[in-house]
Amino acid sequence: MRGSSSLDSLPGKGHLDTLEIENFKSYKGFHLIGPFSRFTAIIGPNGSGKSNLMDAISFVLGERPGSLRVKKYTDLIHGAPINKPVAKKCRVTMNYKYADGRKKAFTRGVNNGVSEHLLDGQLVTGQVYAHEMESINIFIKARNFLVYQGAIENIAMKNPKERTQLFEELSRSHEFQTEYDKLKIEMTKAEDDTQHNMNKRRGIAQEKREAKMEKDEAEKYQQLKNDLAAKSTMLYLHQLFHCERLINESREQISEQKKAIANLERTKVWFSRRNRGFWTEEESKIANVHQDHKKVQREVQKLSRKLDQNESELLEKQQEMLTLKVSVAHEQKKLETAKKMLSAAEAKAENNTSQLAELKKRKKELVKEKTSYEKEIQVRKLHENS
């Protein structure tokens, strides 16, 4: 019994028109079943051949023997399960009707225990047969064209992971799994490389900051040492200047005292010749002058000792300045080394910056490719569902 509805008038790619069965399972001889409509219900008592009709449809659509309740292809021949086959071969032909009225015959049979495929009566390979099936959206590997008894309950009992796997098989998106995993690994690697380079860049930036701090500290230390040396030099030069001024003043005083003594000597001689009575008074004056002269000499000696002491200190300071110069040279070398390290760190940072930019660019490309594949998969799912 066949029932039809207004679905026959709906537009579409086509539908099953008629089914030709020859010596297949319970169907002995040749049988023409149909024509079918877009919605057809097959009813009948138990044992009337409903399940075998579904097996015939499944067989012509490419199902394996295990899904047809037999162990091997020869068991599909009428009478073979009881060792009484009526022939050496069996065939099922599906006459497919396109929306424009064209028809195409898909035939699958068993001949001497081997499965054979035909298109419009022409023998073809299984691959060509499957490709032609795919042109009408029947994918043999995905098994997206039949719903068996208990399949709905089985799908409902699946966990989310199994249900996702089933949808991927039906939509054939699992065919892109290898490429998807490869792109995902590349993206993960690019993200890891990016993170590694970011950490490396942070480390270089930290080293750069530390090198700059060391450089600033060394420059500050060098500046302080230079200021100290300059101020020490000015101090010793100032002390030396005052010592030399005091020496010059003392020498001038000594010269003046000597002149005064010479004048007194001349005066003494003159008075001794003129008046011997004034000798004692003049002698006392001369004695006082000699005492003043000795005092001045002691002052000069004291200043000379102080000058010698200052010269000794000046020599020590000059030695310290020489030591400071050596230390300054050493610090300058350290400063140059720090500058070189800073330059190397900056160059390394620039190199890592360019690598980071390249990795980010690659990551964007991978994300773009991933998005493109996901969109393609969604478009295919929508196309197949339609």
Q: Are 114 and 72 in contact (CB under 8 A)?
A: no
**6-149 and 181-384 share one fold:** no
Angle at 133 between CA 132 and CA 136, to 5 degrees: 100
- CA–CA separation, 141 vs 279, rounded Å? 153
Name the pTM for this structure: 0.42
- Predicted local distance difference test score (pLDDT) of residue 262: 81
Burial of 368 (0-12, 13-18, 19+ CB in 10 A): exposed
Spans of all domains in the chain: 6-149, 181-384
CATH number belonging to domain 181-384: 1.10.287
Q: Looking at the domain 6-149, which fold is it?
A: Rossmann fold (3.40.50)
Q: Would you give per-residue pLDDT tens digits along the chain (386 residues)?
A: 344 444 444 444 788 899 999 999 889 999 999 888 888 888 888 888 888 888 888 899 888 887 778 888 888 888 888 888 888 899 999 999 888 888 999 999 998 888 899 999 999 998 899 888 888 878 777 666 676 666 667 777 878 887 777 667 666 666 677 787 888 888 888 888 888 888 888 888 888 888 888 888 888 888 898 888 888 888 888 888 888 888 888 888 888 888 888 887 777 666 665 555 444 555 666 777 778 778 878 887 888 788 788 778 778 877 877 777 777 778 788 878 878 887 877 777 777 778 878 888 888 888 888 788 788 777 777 776 66
